[in-house]
Structure 1
């Protein structure tokens, strides 16, 4: 497995897709912790107006306490009939979700996240920048990057440019070396948040990154309409780049903490597996052997692997298990660079 991870880390293009599982392991500070879907249900179900909002919700949704299906039902009802009371409840529910996901702060323990960024981000300058896609709203990776002295390219530019602009993903960090030679800066990676962020705010027709709680949050809340919302900006830019990255000839996709339940994200992954023979896929999930609970996509991937598709590797484990197992690509690159130097000297000597 370490050899597979090393091959992924040193492929020409490295894509990482993370989900809720990478945040659930962050130790809580006071009572602030990463919420799962059950936590969100509990917070929403005690709001004033819940009894009214749930009046005509199917019994199976209430019994399952499925927050995603519950909010989807409310949104579908509002699309047919504009109800002020129901609309107010939905706004309260979304505000509660925003607050619950804003748990990362200066006191949060993010050692595993920092180590993860070092291992995926310190690749050879000859390779493409690592692209980290996440469905999480929280700021765990941003905070970890700041502590680990990483530069993040996230579509918002520097402090003087806080509005989202897709073209900013095509910029990079370089430093001027001797004789005015430009050298790619180390510790740089792309961060693309597929479902929005707790610090994104709608500002007219644009999206802006803000400090503190946004007045008009830009989030794809848990609901069945994720697919439709992903075709709006800035999500459209993120999804487009995700699909383009999956088509590259020598690309590795490392998936951790993502349950393969979001159709709009799973579809391009499955299409890439079918059409891109140069794609290498590694999936890490603690419940990957639980056939009764896992998604149909994971079952399909397992069958492909068992049938001899060596591009696919499935690893049972948590986020921290993966990080501890991952080799250090920067050390590998130094060893490779040293081997290249010795080889060149030997060739000169024999010549």
Structure 2
């Protein structure tokens, strides 16, 4: 398969082959790894993880492939629109509101669909009294869809789509361990663990890494918890954790010299920014809390389905969802990090389909020292191809051409192969694995 490494629109692997007459993938991978190792030593480094990072398919005994992680947005949207439970709502949207869910606008993105419905709901509720608005949740529970008002029908569809997203992102069927067996999604957890474990080997004298993600799921948190990695995700507190963006200005440090006020930031520490929210964030009231977003520990669908407001983007708030807290605070942090001098942003599993995020990335190019490393495949139609067409040497694009005849093939720009083959494989990983095994053996001895 053809591996590529573009700087601007020049594939530096091709020029290397012309000079050396070497055509092996191992040589290409070595060159990519060496370049990536230098990027990891950059002072200001951030990662942006998209939905592709949490998708993971395993081959079944029948030779088919089963999704054990979380599908990317396009197949998720297709499944929801095509379900029997959505048939009546789909017909009503088309006949009454002229909304074609199978059209170009909505067919591949449930977030855009939800955003449109929230705007419609906001408009329709402006024609109602407060009593009528308060009655909507009760009406949705008691009446059939056909008997609901237009406003109630929109709210009913929003609730159905939101709960569908919740179930998919919680992934409870695959995340629950069976008797004497690990959970089905264990390979995905191990992949995330490997990703964070490798990033720990970055020079400890450099600022801590920033991990931005558009994903609602909890795979990053689960992986870091299992590795004993400390992270700041914007929430403070003990039993009740509430959002407070000021925490992003803090770091976890250890005292180096007891006789002086000398501190050093610990090595196993990351900043995690979930810029589209999370399945375990809800809107809740707290005493003396300026921000009313609460983090739920060990969330289940049963716990969350009755919550009026789950903080996944887009969320209906009293003001515009994309401008309100916590989203505005998280996007502000994203912009602040991008605007630092000598900053590198690495995107993985991100298709550049979010205009809010894209605008901030494009603004960063006004800083000469900014670099963007895209792990993905450029085509004539997609946004990555348009980035390559800019012919800016500050834009690196790394990946592999995906052969159409092999639908089950995993190219280099997929999260699995990126973690296993592009991220430098340093010896500290072996040490961590031995430590994990020793701890597990000790637990077995104490049983």
Q: TM-score, normalised by structure 2?
A: 0.65
User: Does the 8 Å CA contact 1:40/1:97 hold for their aligned counterparts?
Assistant: no
> Which residue is 2:244 aligned to?
165
> Which residue is 1:93 aligned to?
161
1:105-160 Cα distance to aligned partner (Å, 9 max, x none): 36232111111112234422321110000000000100011112110111113534
* More divergent stretch after superposition (135-144 vs 21-30): 21-30
> 3-state DSSP class of the match of 1:62?
coil
Distance 1:59 1:176, change over 3 A: closer
> Which residue is 1:230 aligned to?
322
User: Does the 8 Å CA contact 2:234/2:243 hold for their aligned counterparts?
Assistant: yes
Selected match of 1:280 from 365, 371, 395: 371
Q: Say whether 1:326 aligns with 2:423.
A: yes
> Which residue is 1:56 aligned to?
96
Once the two structures are superposed, the pairs formed by residues 150-299 of structure 1 within 5 Å of their partners are 150-157=229-236, 159-160=238-239, 162-177=241-256, 179=258, 181-204=262-285, 206-211=292-297, 212=299, 213-214=303-304, 215=307, 216-221=309-314, 229-273=321-365, 275-285=366-376, 288-292=377-381, 294-295=382-383, 298-299=384-385
Selected match of 1:139 from 210, 213, 218: 218
User: Does the 8 Å CA contact 1:124/1:330 hold for their aligned counterparts?
Assistant: no
> 3-state DSSP class of the match of 2:258?
helix
User: Does the 8 Å CA contact 2:55/2:72 hold for their aligned counterparts?
Assistant: yes
Give structure 2 stretches of 5+ with no counterpart.
1-31, 61-65, 126-150, 177-182, 286-290, 400-412, 429-447
Distance in 2 (alpha carbons) for counterparts of 1:202 and 1:153: 20
> 3-state DSSP class of the match of 1:55?
helix
> 3-state DSSP class of the match of 2:95?
coil
Q: TM-score, normalised by structure 1?
A: 0.81
> Which residue is 2:15 aligned to?
none
CA positional deviation for 1:28: 10
Q: Which runs of 4+ in 1 moved over 6 A?
A: 28-31
Distance 1:136 1:28, change over 3 A: farther
Distance in 2 (alpha carbons) for counterparts of 1:329 and 1:266: 33
User: Does the 8 Å CA contact 1:272/1:279 hold for their aligned counterparts?
Assistant: yes
CA RMSD in angstroms comes to: 2.8
> 3-state DSSP class of the match of 2:242?
coil
CA positional deviation for 1:319: 1.0
Give structure 1 stretches of 5+ with no counterpart.
332-351
Distance in 1 (alpha carbons) for counterparts of 2:252 and 2:415: 29
> Which residue is 2:69 aligned to?
33
Distance 1:206 1:13, change over 3 A: same
Larger CA Rg, structure 1 vs 2: 2
Distance in 2 (alpha carbons) for counterparts of 1:42 and 1:78: 24
1:24-51 Cα distance to aligned partner (Å, 9 max, x none): 1265999863033322342354335423
User: Does the 8 Å CA contact 2:198/2:423 hold for their aligned counterparts?
Assistant: yes
CA positional deviation for 1:222: 9.6
Distance in 2 (alpha carbons) for counterparts of 1:31 and 1:260: 23
Q: How many residues align?
A: 319
1:41-70 Cα distance to aligned partner (Å, 9 max, x none): 423543354233443354754355345354
